Amino acid sequence: MIWDKLPDCLLERIYTMVVISQPLNLLNDIKSYNYTIDHIKHDLELNQFVWRHNEWLILTYILNIYYKTKSEEYKTKKFIELQKFVKYNNNLSIRYQGGFYWINRFVSKMTIIERKELRKNI
């Protein structure tokens, strides 16, 4: 086959020119996720001395959006479980991230509309 006989530098050049198109929905979802996470990080940086919006308060709001149909008791139990997971985890990366570990996980599961609502209300 001709590909096997081409030099590596030429193959690399060809591979850089190959563009694989992605569905527009996936691209919009990725942009929405990045924009939401950047918005939350910016909000946390602005309020780091005020302690008005720390990551656990933001996580509570995300849980309210994510578990709309569940009772307040269920949401409270879930919140305590998430806090305990971070507190007693042996993975230092998870401990360092704190509540932001769960924020990333829940925001990735949200729809674009739910993320927009979250950005608007934070």
The verdict on residue 46 lying in a domain is yes
Q: Of residues 44 and 74, which shows the higher confidence score?
A: 74
pLDDT at residue 80, as a whole number: 93
φ and ψ at residue 18, rounded to 5 degrees: -75, 125
The verdict on residue 7 lying in a domain is no
Structure tokens belonging to residue 77: 């139990």
The verdict on residue 78 lying in a domain is yes
The verdict on residue 88 lying in a domain is yes
Residues 6+ apart with CB under 8 A from 43: 53, 58, 122
The verdict on residue 1 lying in a domain is no
The verdict on residue 70 lying in a domain is yes
Amino acid at 35: Y
Helical segments of 1-122, H only: 2-5, 8-17, 24-46, 55-66, 72-87, 92-97, 99-109, 112-121
Domains held by the chain: number: 1
The model's pLDDT over 58-111, given as tens digits with 9 standing for 90+, comes to 899 899 988 989 999 999 999 999 999 998 988 888 888 888 899 999 999 999
The verdict on residue 68 lying in a domain is yes
The verdict on residue 115 lying in a domain is yes
pTM reported for the whole predicted model: 0.71
Per DSSP, the three-state class of 63 is helix
For residue 35, what are the domain limits? 23-121
Q: In the structure, what pLDDT confidence band is assigned to residue 48 with cuts at 50, 70 and 90?
A: low
pLDDT at residue 51, as a whole number: 54
pLDDT of 23 over the 90 cut: no
